[in-house]
Amino acid sequence: MANKMAACIFCKIVKGEIPCFKLFESDKALAFLDINPLSRGHALVIPKIHGEKLTDIPDDHLSELLPIAKKLAIASGAKDFNILQNNGRIAHQEVDHVHVHMIPKPNEEEGMGIRWPQQKTDMDKLKALAEEIKSKM
Ligand SMILES: [Zn+2]
């Protein structure tokens, strides 16, 4: 973990070792503009502590992220937008430090494109799955 943190670009941004276009900061979180934006106003919110995936960050450090994403959405003036948080390479996570994207969607071409491969619904299997997941929470 220590080596990963030392190399982590977002930890370096938190420490001020790499500059960013900072938009908001609190004790536990930092928000800044994405340097490879999908649209005007595309911003990131990160916890200040290092964790690769959502499941690695304590709840009290996660709870600020969504309200900050909401502030960014309002301040950007975006009417339509996506809030996105990817975990793992095949889920399109490129930086291994938890981050929430706020991506304005001003038109069909800019912002996020989504492929939504809906699966055929089997109500009995869904019911069994719900029971399985509930039993583990
Ligand atoms: Zn980090």
pLDDT of residue 6: 73
How many A from CA of 1 to the centre of ligand 1? Answer: 9
pLDDT score at 1:
52
- Predicted confidence pLDDT, tens digits, the chain (137 residues): 556 677 899 999 999 999 999 999 999 999 999 999 999 999 999 999 999 999 999 999 999 999 999 999 999 999 999 999 999 999 999 999 999 999 999 999 999 999 999 999 999 999 999 999 999 99
Taken in order of first residue, the domains within the chain and their CATH numbers are 2-136 (3.30.428.10)
The pair of structure tokens assigned to 17 is: 């070792």
In the prediction, which pLDDT does 60 show? 96
Structure confidence at residue 82 (pLDDT): 98
The rounded Å distance from CA 35 to ligand 1 centre is 17
Distance from Cα 81 to the centre of ligand 1, integer Å:
26
pLDDT of residue 3: 64
Contact yes or no for 102/42 (Cβ under 8 A): yes
Please say whether the beta carbons of 45 and 10 come within 8 A.
Answer: no
Q: What is the DSSP string of 74-115?
A: HHHT-SSEEEE---SGGGT--SSS--EEEEE--SSSSS----
Per-residue pLDDT, 110:
97
Ligand 1 midpoint to CA 125 (Å): 39
Catalytic annotation present for 92: no
Catalytic site residue from 42, 50, 97, 99: 99
**What pLDDT shows up at residue 2?**
57
Cα(110) to ligand 1 centroid in Å equals 28
